[in-house]
Amino acid sequence: MRTLVVDDSRAMRAILRRMLRELGYEVLEAGNGREGLECLRKVGAVDLALVDWNMPEMNGLDFLREVRKEPTYSGMIMMMVTTETEMEKVMEALRMGASEYVMKPFTKEVILEKLQMLGLVQC
């Protein structure tokens, strides 16, 4: 399974990369939404994208919006992983096509639980 982590924080990408690799995922990384789109255009659809909201150049919601416009990526599971905690923001992301929403800070158990809910990891 291939995953794309889109976050402007190198530390956050490293944390998620380690967690996902332990679960057997191949992990690709991007520092903002624009880089994330470039990565997808280069390698094709991934199974899962974990996306931060607040990033320079292109934020996570705009990335989500652009990805959902492309039929090529229609089967991609998109999980927002962000500090945005307002219910309006959560609902907006879900309306735009996010499959799940995780609020930072999070634990490995929270990520694992979300992946199980999405059917990406066995219990």
CA distance 119 to 123: 9
Q: Name every residue whose Cβ is closer than 8 Å to that of residue 87 and which is 6 or more positions away in sequence.
A: none
CA distance 67 to 49: 10
Q: What is the pLDDT of residues 5-40, one digit of tens each?
A: 999 999 999 999 999 999 999 999 999 999 999 999
Give the pLDDT score at 30: 98
* The one-letter amino acid at 84: E
CA distance 6 to 122: 24
Tokens 């982590």 correspond to 5
Q: Which pTM was predicted? A: 0.94
CA distance 106 to 56: 22
Domains belonging to the chain, first-starting first, are 2-117 (3.40.50.2300)
DSSP 37-94: HHHHHHH---SEEEE-S--SSS-HHHHHHHHHH-GGGTT-EEEEEES---HHHHHHHH
Give the pLDDT score at 46: 97
Angle at 33 between CA 84 and CA 122, to 5 degrees: 70
Q: What is the pLDDT of residues 74-114, one digit of tens each?
A: 999 999 999 988 999 999 999 999 999 999 999 999 999 99
Predicted confidence (pLDDT) at residue 123 exceeds the cutoff of 70? no
